[in-house]
Amino acid sequence: MPEGKIIKALSGFYYVLDGEEVIQCRGRGVFRKNKITPLVGDSVVYQAENPTDGYVIEIKDRKNELVRPPIANIDQAILVFSAVEPDFSTTLLDRFLVAIEDNEIEPIIIISKIDLVKEADRARLDQYMKDYQDIGYTVIKTSSITSDGIEVLLPHLAGKTSVFAGQSGVGKSSLLNTIKPELSLETNDISSHLGRGKHTTRHVELIHVGSGLVADTPGFSSLEFMDIEVERLAYCFPEIYQAGERCKFRGCLHDQEPKCAVKEAVAQEEIPSYRYKHYLQILEEIKDRKPRY
C-alpha cells in the first residue's frame, strides 16, 4: 500500500503528498465511526485508482498534535508576534509558548514589523528579545517590507515541518509571501475598529518552502489549557523548571510554598518578573478549570 503525508484538508477531502504527486482522498467511514479525524501533517496509508479518487486507509502514530490549529507531526512552531500593530505582548507569547512546550514542539520566536518600531521603543523590545534568548529560545527580528531577518530564518525551515502561528494581524501571511512570493497568500490590515487583525487564513495547509514544509494557520488570540496538569506547568517555563530543581520541597508549585528557589530567583532578577507573573496566572487558570467527565 502506498504511503504519504496529508498536506491539506478541505470540505471532506484529504490531499495526500506522495513524492511529488498529490492524491485527493476521502477518509474511511471507520474513522468517523471511531471519532478519528485525519489531520494535516498525518502520515497515512492510502489506496487510489487515480489521483482524484483515493481513500485514506490508515493513520500512522502521531508524535504530536495541536488542536488549534488542527495539525499533527510538527517539528517546530514559528511563533510570529508583531513589534507593533498589534503591540508586542509577552502575555500572549508566554501562553503560546506553554501550549507549544507542552506538546514538546521546538519554538522559534519571530518579532515581525520591526521596520515600524519607533526609536524610543527599541530598547524595551531589545530587552524582551534578550530575556527570551537568555532562556534558550531562538528569537529573530523580521520585516516583510525590508526583508530583514528572512535570510536568518530560512535555514531554520530547511528539511522540517513547521507551523506558523500567532495572533491575527501580526503578519504571518505577509512573512510567508516575502519568503516565497509566488504563494500570494491573502493578507489584510489591522481592523481599526477592533484593533486586531482580520482572519485571512481559513484552513490549514502545508506548503513547500525550500526543502521544508510550512503551515500558515488561522490566527487566534486565546489559548485554553485543558490538558496541562499543575505539576507539568513548570516544564513549560524552562527557566522556572531549572530554578525549581533547587527548591526545598519536592512538588513545589512555586506559589505559596516556603523556601522556594524560583521566588528567590525572581527576587534576584534571575527570572524576569513578568514571566513568573504569567506562570502564576496560568497556574491559577489550571487550578480553577472545571473537571471534564
Which parts are annotated binding residues for GTP? Answer: 112-115, 166-174
Cell readout for 20 is 511529488
**How far is the C-alpha of 216 from the C-alpha of 289, rounded, in Å?**
30
| Preceding omega of 107 cis (within 30 degrees of 0) | no
Q: At what angle do helices 150-157 and 172-179 cross, to 10 degrees?
A: 90
What Å distances lie between residue 41 and 9, 35, 46, 61, 71, CA to CA? 10, 18, 14, 11, 6
| Numbered residues of the known binding site for Zn(2+) | 247, 252, 254, 260
Selection from 262, 204, 209 nearest residue 233 by Cα: 262
| Numbered residues of the known binding site | 112-115, 166-174, 247, 252, 254, 260
**How far is the C-alpha of 9 from the C-alpha of 7, rounded, in Å?**
7
Length of the chain: 293
**How far is the C-alpha of 23 from the C-alpha of 49, rounded, in Å?**
10
| DSSP label of 88 | P
- CB distance 74 to 43 below 8 Å: no
| Preceding omega of 272 cis (within 30 degrees of 0) | no
Q: 32-67 burial string, b = 16+ CB within 10 Å, else e? A: eeeeeebbbbbbbebebeeeeebbbbebeeeeeebe
Residue in the structure block whose three cell numbers are 489584510: 188
Rg (CA), the chain: 21
Cα 229 versus chain centre, distance: 20
| DSSP label of 84 | T
